[in-house]
A and B are shown apart, each in its own frame.
Chain A
């Protein structure tokens, strides 16, 4: 097929069309500001996911006796203050747990931005990759961070596994093998509308899961 503009001496409408379409677009720098406002309102890539991961990880915590005593004293003060609030009589003669009192108590708890850990379920991800030297789980729940959720070798040769606490919702994820190869989960449906150029899978963590949940 001759390329546009290769039609000889006659003026080629298509060549002029292409020249016209390559002219600078009508969207200018003010668009950048709008995007950056939206970006700044958004969470930074992986920050909340890493925070959630951190909260879910078991770890050993060391206290000195003095620090332990100080923390215990502080905890007692908080409990005592809370009990005083609950025990205060309300105008309607309500007992502890009335709507008015709970507003105060719940109000104190509201600033906690992360989802309650109680709603999270431990989801087990498994991949068979016999020749892999390392495997990582990447997904929108950990900001696609290849270092956040490494899989461990299971007792069975070639099997890699990891458990991740996830609150109910829909997630997209993939396995990253040896730091370079993206692999969708063969045991899960492929993510729909995924336009990032690498294969990925989808998982729906239900709101309730009798007896635990795993893939």
Chain B
């Protein structure tokens, strides 16, 4: 299929968009936001457990990336660089709001009361998963999401988080074990 008129000769790669922003074309940043929004949102929502915090983390990450765009050593890898910033923003926001989250997360009785739905009910199932994720140690949750939801390799995860590979494997395994335990009853009900 021929390319749409006017777009055939335009380079829309991340690298090209980064270079256009650095040359003063601020609106080109919108292309980067649109391209990477979904992936960032998926991680931030599951990591932080609610949409408001996730949007805060994402907005901070995109703004920090914009301000420090010249520090992006390989513009073609803007997505990986942005994701690293986002992971750190999520850590910061989780720590900032940790006290409030703990109040919710470790209310075991409330979680037990909520565990009555069957996976056939997708909304209820999503809620079960969110509750279970919230009960996992944040570093284990982070490793689980990066490995299995974002499908990153352990080497990339190590570069991204600054954590050793063996520690990341252990965190991901513990997260899997914990999630299986937390969700087994409702899943097989």
What residues of chain A have their CB less than 8 Å away from a CB belonging to chain B? Answer: 1, 4, 11, 13-14, 16-18, 20-22, 24-27, 29, 31-32, 34-36, 38-40, 42-47, 138, 140, 143-146, 180, 182, 193, 195-198
Q: How far is the CB of A121 from chain B (nearest CB, A)?
A: 23
Q: Which residues of A are found within 8 Å of B179, using beta-carbon distances?
A: 13-14, 17
Shortest distance in angstroms between B61's beta carbon and chain A's nearest beta carbon?
Answer: 9
B85 near A144 (CB under 8 angstroms)?
Answer: no
B69–A36 CB distance below 8 A? no
Bound together, the chains give a CA A25 to CA B149 distance in angstroms of 12
B51 touches A16 (CB 8 A): no
Q: How far is the CA of A112 from the CA of B116 in the complex (A)?
A: 64
Chain B CB count within 10 A is highest, among A24, A138, A144, for A144
Chain B residues closer than 8 Å to A197, beta-carbon distance: 73, 81, 84, 159
B21 contacts A45, C-beta separation under 8 Å: yes
Query: Do B187 and A11 have beta carbons less than 8 Å apart?
Result: yes
CB distance from A76 to the nearest CB of B (A): 38
Query: In the complex the two chains form, is A45's CB within 8 Å of B145's CB?
Result: no
A44 to B66, CA, bound (A): 8
The distance in angstroms between the C-alpha atoms of A133 and B69, with both chains bound, is: 25
Residues A140 and B68 in contact, CB atoms below 8 Å apart: yes
Q: Do A20 and B126 touch across chains, with their CB atoms under 8 A apart? A: yes
A181 CB to closest chain B CB (Å) equals: 10
How far does the alpha carbon of A40 sit from the alpha carbon of B67 in the complex, in Å? 11
Q: Shortest beta-carbon distance, B147 to chain A, in Å?
A: 9
Q: Given A22-B42, A44-B26: A35 and B183 within 8 A (CB)?
A: no
B92-105 vs A, CB cutoff 8 Å, 1 = contact: the mask equals: 10000000000000
CA distance in complex: A42, B92 (Å): 22
- Which residues of B sit under 8 angstroms from A35, Cβ to Cβ? 33, 58-59, 62-63
Could you tell me if A27 and B26 are in contact, using CB atoms closer than 8 angstroms?
no
A17, B129: Cβ atoms under 8 Å? yes
Q: Are B24 and A44 in contact (CB under 8 A)?
A: yes
Say yes or no: A32 contacts B30, CB within 8 Å: yes
Give the distance in Å from the alpha carbon of A45 to the alpha carbon of B23 in the complex. Answer: 9
With a cutoff of 8 Å between Cβ atoms, the chain A residues found around residue B92 in the complex are 193
* A21-B68 contact in complex given A13-B187, A14-B179, A32-B37, C-beta closer than 8 Å: no
> Which residue in B59, B73, B119, B188 is a CB contact (below 8 Å) of A198?
B73
Q: List 20 A-B contacts (CB under 8 A).
A: A4-B148, A4-B176, A13-B179, A13-B188, A14-B179, A17-B132, A17-B179, A18-B149, A20-B125, A22-B149, A27-B58, A29-B37, A31-B58, A31-B59, A32-B33, A138-B71, A144-B68, A144-B69, A144-B71, A196-B72
Which single member of B34, B38, B81 contacts A25 (CB below 8 Å)? B38
Cβ-closest chain B residue relative to A12: B180
CB-nearest residue of chain B to A174: B71
- What are the residues of chain A within 8 A of B70 when measuring CB–CB? 45-46, 138, 143-146
- Structural contact, A36 and B33, CB atoms closer than 8 A: yes
Please give me the residue from chain A that is nearest to B91 by CB atom: A195
| A17 close to B183 (CB less than 8 A) | yes
Rank and list the top 3 A-B pairs by shortest CB-CB distance, nearest first.
A195-B88, A144-B70, A25-B41
Q: Which of A17, A21, A25, A34 contacts B59 (CB 8 A)?
A: A34
Q: Which B residues, 114 to 145, have Cβ-Cβ distances below 8 Å to chain A?
A: 119, 122, 125-126, 129, 132, 145
Using known A-B contacts A20-B125, A38-B63, A44-B26, determine if residue A27 contacts B51 with beta carbons closer than 8 Å: yes
Known: A4-B176, A46-B70, A193-B92. A13 touches B184 (CB 8 A): yes
**Taking the nearest CB of chain A, how far is it from the CB of B89, in angstroms?**
7
Confirm or deny: B27 has a beta carbon within 8 angstroms of a beta carbon on chain A.
Answer: yes
Please state if B84 and A16 are interface contacts (CB–CB under 8 Å): no
